[in-house]
Amino acid sequence: MAHYSVESILNQLQPRISAVIPLYNKQAYVERAVASVLQSGYPAHDVIVVDDGSTDDGPQRVAAMGNPRVRLIRQSHGGVAAARNRGISEASGDYIAFLDADDYWTPEYLPAIADLIAHFPECGMYATHFYYFRDDGFRRVSPLWGIKAPSRPQQIERFFEIWGHGIFFCTCSVVIPVRILRDFAISFPDGEQHGEDMDVWFRIAERWPIAYLGQPLVGYRLGVPGSLMTSHPGDFPPAYERLAARYRSNAIPHHHRKGVARTLSVARLMSARRLLLESERGRALKLLYDPSCLRAPRFWLRLLLAAHMPASVRGHFIPAC
């Protein structure tokens, strides 16, 4: 039988959750992001805004909010990974929640996370589903292919078998116990701007189960200059390269290997799709001819057919996501 200290039991009943918000030139959005934390139905223990060398008025707008729970930390520009790592080191809670400065939480998000922690105290990560949105009113729940997101809280043992069917959480809908980040030296890879968050999720999911609620309780903004989707349309993220290296070296636990194989296949296909949309046919074909793509055969075949269509009509044949 597991033995828990009084402190650990209290942390599960009323977990102290620190919110970490990296900020770089997002003056138009950061106040809403911070306000969404402060207006949550469950109080964040503290809010750490790390200004990563902004050249606009974003930091001043945060300071002007004047809330004692909000700490503004300034550093020279080092990238989003360095800003998140700084926030982790400065946070005083037992759990770290992440929120980008142009996204937001619904009031129900932190209460749902606290409930997950209470029900699944031994998990390595706590997350909910999310939706994409734009300022023009567009809103869509992140799609999953071939499966449904669970509507009730549950513990996920085989993370990669779901991840291979679509992105079912994002950076801003994840909370991680600080002991895991610090005791196991897990951090965001400095200097990387593309998929640096997934490196953390993958390393945790290989070792611990994930507690998850399939309700979309976080908004992920699309169409912001400098975001992942606008800055790296078709690159294969380094996090996936490292995951593939661990797979090839048999460092992935056996029960995850099938899911990891599909995850890598879908990631290559999604990169190929984005390259086709950017008229980078040669680079797309290089990915499509990788044998691992056959683990998602229908998606692969549709992309391959689209790649061989004339450029003038190709866009009509590229499958939607």
Same domain, 156 and 257: no
| Side chain identity at residue 155, one-letter code | Q
Question: Does 233 fall in a domain?
Answer: no
Q: Number of structural domains, the chain?
A: 2
Q: What string of H, E and C letters represents the secondary structure of 211-259?
A: EEEEEEEEEEECCCCCCHHHHCCCCCCHHHHHHHHHHHCCCCCHHHHHH
Same domain, 10 and 90: yes
Tell me the HSE value of 103 on the side-chain side, using a 13 A CA sphere.
Answer: 23
Phi, psi of 179 (to 5 degrees): -65, -35
Same domain, 310 and 168: no
Same domain, 245 and 207: no
Q: Which domain covers residue 101, as residue numbers? A: 6-225
pLDDT in tens, 115-167: 999 999 999 999 999 999 999 999 999 988 777 777 789 999 999 999 988 88
Element (H, E) at 32: helix 30-38
Question: Does 321 fall in a domain?
Answer: no
Question: Does 268 fall in a domain?
Answer: yes
Phi, psi of 258 (to 5 degrees): -65, -45
> Nearest to residue 50, comparing CAs of 93, 98, 120?
98
Question: Does 266 fall in a domain?
Answer: yes
| Side chain identity at residue 77, one-letter code | H
In this prediction the pTM is 0.88
Angle subtended by helix axes 297-307 and 257-277, to nearest 10: 20
Same domain, 181 and 295: no
Same domain, 180 and 242: no
Question: Does 232 fall in a domain?
Answer: no
Predicted local confidence at residue 1, as pLDDT: 45
Per-residue tens of pLDDT for the chain, all 321 residues: 445 555 555 555 699 999 999 999 999 999 999 999 999 999 999 999 999 999 999 999 999 999 999 999 999 999 999 999 999 999 999 999 999 999 999 999 999 999 999 999 999 999 999 999 999 999 999 988 777 777 789 999 999 999 988 889 999 999 999 999 999 999 999 988 778 899 999 999 999 999 999 999 999 999 876 554 444 545 678 999 999 999 999 999 999 999 999 999 999 999 999 999 999 999 999 999 988 888 888 889 999 999 999 998 898 889 876
